[in-house]
Amino acid sequence: MSGSADSSFIIHTSSVLLTMPLIDLQCHFGVRPGALAVRPPELAAASTYADESGVETLCFASDEATTDLDGGNIRLANALGGDARFRGWLTLSVHQPDASQTIARGCLTRSRWVGARFDQANDNDAVSAAGGPTVLNALRRYGRPVLLTVNSPVTLHAAIQAAREFTTLRFLLAPQNEETSSDALPAMKETINTLLLPSAAYSERDLLAQAIATLGERRVLWCSNWGRLHPTAALGMLADSAVNKLQRDRIAHRNARDLLTDSD
């Protein structure tokens, strides 16, 4: 292969991105049980990615913590010390409300942690489940954002209902399939304390432009899902979107900076 094809792509994306600071709001630490055929990259590679792509802050979540609440979060906390740009999402569970509140008390006053994350992997994990409101109620005192993955109409609805009930919290909704990505926009529209955190793996074109048209440019965020996805996938989504330079800057940096600043 000649180098020309590579170069044309780099020029295509770099014209948009190289001058742009980035805040990567969701990266993944450790093994992902659903994709064991591919080993996750070493954390040192995240620093290299940050250096090369101009990423100011990388916010990691631990898949292990969805199974081992204590151990997973502790191992993530230890890993976060490796680079001053690393911060973490504290994984909590609606199925373990007491343990979740204890862990939140010990962590969410520390700047290392961005906020709380709930993996709504299936309908049984919806934040509307028995322990969900209890944990969310306890999170109000920290004022940190809450990241919710959404996999289905049920978990999307639960996320919206939670945002309507706990209006002082900001909820980042991270769709985990194409249908939910598309359905999230009209569902989120009127609930102004919800923000969209789309994944390049589940975003059809042009979700970013549609999100800005529906939610406004202050409610759309960006992440690479580093650890699960090659970051060029999410950078490509940003580059290909029909949004203007200011909107792109808001998605990639300013909205996240405001979110992180407000929660510190």
Partner 1 sequence: MAIPIFDACTLFGPWPQHEVDLSVESLLANMAQSGITRSLATATIGIFHDYRQGNIETLQAAKANPQQLFPVATLDPRAYPECLDEAEARAGEGFRLFRFFPERQCWPIRFAPFRELLQKCDSLGIPVAVTVGDAGDISALAGEVTFTQAPLLLAGVTPSNLGEALAVMKSDTKFYLETTALLSPGALEAVRDIVPSGAERLVFASYSPLRYLSTALGPVLASGLSEDDKALVLGGNLRRLLTKPVTNDE
Contact residues: partner 1, CB under 8 A: 1-6, 8-9, 12-13, 32, 34-41, 45, 178-179, 182, 200-201, 203-206, 210, 228-230, 232-237, 239-241
Please report how close the Cβ of residue 185 comes to partner 1 at its closest, in angstroms.
Answer: 9
> Residue 90 or residue 174: which is nearer to partner 1 going by CB?
174
Please report how close the Cβ of residue 47 comes to partner 1 at its closest, in angstroms.
Answer: 14
> Residue 228 or residue 250: which is nearer to partner 1 going by CB?
228
Q: Looking up tokens 């789309």, which residue turns up? A: 198
Please report how close the Cβ of residue 200 comes to partner 1 at its closest, in angstroms.
Answer: 5
Phi-psi region of 30 (alpha: psi -120 to 50; beta: other; left: phi over 0): left
Provide the residue count of the chain.
264
> Residue 2 or residue 261: which is nearer to partner 1 going by CB?
2
**Is the N-terminal amide bond of 206 cis, ω within 30° of 0?**
yes
- Which three-class secondary structure state does DSSP give residue 85? coil
- Which three-class secondary structure state does DSSP give residue 54? coil
Please report how close the Cβ of residue 52 comes to partner 1 at its closest, in angstroms.
Answer: 10
CB 146 within 8 A of CB 136: yes
> Residue 35 or residue 140: which is nearer to partner 1 going by CB?
35
Please report how close the Cβ of residue 49 comes to partner 1 at its closest, in angstroms.
Answer: 10
CB 200 within 8 A of CB 243: no
> Residue 32 or residue 157: which is nearer to partner 1 going by CB?
32
Phi-psi region of 32 (alpha: psi -120 to 50; beta: other; left: phi over 0): beta
